[in-house]
Structure 1
Amino acid sequence: MPRKPSHTPESLADGALAQFWWGGYEATSMDKLVKKTGVSRHGIYADYGGKKALYLACFPRYHEHVVAPILNPVTGSGDGLAAIVGYFGRMVEMAEGIGLPGPGCFVVNAATETAPHDPEIAAKVQEHNDRMESAFAKALEREQASRLPVAHRRALARTTMIFANGLWTASRSIDKVEVMREHAAVFLDLLEYRLK
């Protein structure tokens, strides 16, 4: 009888995600993936066919484990600006839990390292950004106290997505969580002012 595999495609992608997130795509060799995941080269090729396919499989795993827990409450809460305030609170807590300085955002790292010369990865980055922007737009549209037109709220949602990505990037060189909180607080003050 063939031996039962010691991993699943999902657990393999989770282990690879940790390596790609901290180490980047180009600097991650197959040897590093084998060491990090505990899965042989044969197992990696059998499940994914190669390094790039495994990297692409990390995007939905990152969304499930990192993005969804802090972003889903934005769309599900029914709140306006308070939902976005909550998002940044959860984001800073997550960054602190991961450790500062940290790896930044896996997707934003991909946006600067691999997406510029790979359309498949660029599409994954765009999907992530669209999801975030849409969640922020829905929250801002629920802000009843504001008379700001919908088009302006959507532009603010895009700006909020860009700031969130930038704050994740900044977390790669910040060693104190208070600094992240201060950056988020300044942005949220500006957002609240613009919504008046």
Structure 2
Amino acid sequence: MGRPKSFDEDAVLDRAIEQFWTTGYNALSVRDLESGTGVLKGSLYAAFGDKRALFLAALRRYADQSADQIRELLAQGQTPRDGLEHYLRVRGKECTGPTRTRGCLLANTAAEVAPHDAEVRAVVGQAFDKLADALVPAIRAAQAQRLISRRHDAKELAAHLIVLVQGMTVVGKTEPDSALIRSTLRFALTLLDPD
């Protein structure tokens, strides 16, 4: 009979997320994962599989957490439109703030690993869809209340906003006080103007 697990898988995934996010997939060694998660390779692999399987699990958890964060940001507005504006402003500020050089784990993965790995590419694509889906209810509610334009399909607008935010995170990694990010944010806010 094997020994029972002596660690919380979610907590280990959260620590792995931080490591992959800070270091990148290719540069992160198994020894680094052992050190950063506090779990030895054998136990990590028994719980998650190999480094790649751990990475995929970490990406999925990151996507779930990111979708939850979007919903939390949206809930901070007094109206659905206020929530959408709050989401965009917070994301824009993050692109020029002190943690900007990390960017977004999904965007980083899309650039580093996804071009060479079909499964990672699929997981990242599903994650972006999940983020867009988190915006759709607020967009539809704002449109129903005539607080934003109804000329855009809610799902298409949500996808556009996610792609826009991902682009801002990439630009922000190299330009901490980017006029490009500020102008992009101003343009994004015009998409929320009522008819």
TM-score range, shorter-chain basis? Answer: 0.7 to 0.9
The answer for unaligned runs of 5 or more in structure 2 is none
Structure 2 contact 110–124 (Cα < 8 Å) conserved: yes
Structure 1 contact 116–122 (Cα < 8 Å) conserved: yes
How much has 1:149 moved relative to structure 2?
A: 3.6
Match of 1:148 in 2: 150
Match of 1:80 in 2: 80
Q: Distance in 1 between matches of 2:166 and 2:102?
A: 12
Match of 2:130 in 1: 131
Residue 61 of structure 1 aligns with an amino acid whose one-letter code is R
Is 2:7 the counterpart of 1:24?
no
How much has 1:69 moved relative to structure 2?
A: 2.1
How much has 1:158 moved relative to structure 2?
A: 2.0
How much has 1:164 moved relative to structure 2?
A: 1.2
Q: Distance in 2 between matches of 1:133 and 1:75?
A: 16
Structure 1 contact 71–132 (Cα < 8 Å) conserved: no
- The farther-off stretch of 10-19 and 47-56 is 10-19
Structure 1 contact 141–150 (Cα < 8 Å) conserved: no
Structure 1 contact 19–36 (Cα < 8 Å) conserved: yes
How much has 1:103 moved relative to structure 2?
A: 0.9
Percent identity, aligned pairs only, is 26
How much has 1:21 moved relative to structure 2?
A: 0.7
Query: Could you list the per-position Cα deviations for residues 13-69 of structure 1 after superposition, in whole angstroms to 9, with x for gaps in the alignment?
Result: 121111111111111111221222222222222222210110011023313444412
Is 2:171 the counterpart of 1:170?
yes
Match of 1:7 in 2: 7
The answer for unaligned runs of 5 or more in structure 1 is none
Structure 2 contact 172–181 (Cα < 8 Å) conserved: no
Match of 1:116 in 2: 115
Match of 1:68 in 2: 68
User: Match of 1:192, SS?
Assistant: coil
Q: Distance in 2 between matches of 1:180 and 1:11?
A: 37
Q: Normalised by the size of structure 1, how large is the TM-score?
A: 0.77
Runs of 4+ in 1 over 6 A off after TM superposition: 75-78, 178-181
How much has 1:115 moved relative to structure 2?
A: 1.9
Count of residues paired in the alignment = 192
Structure 1 contact 100–174 (Cα < 8 Å) conserved: no
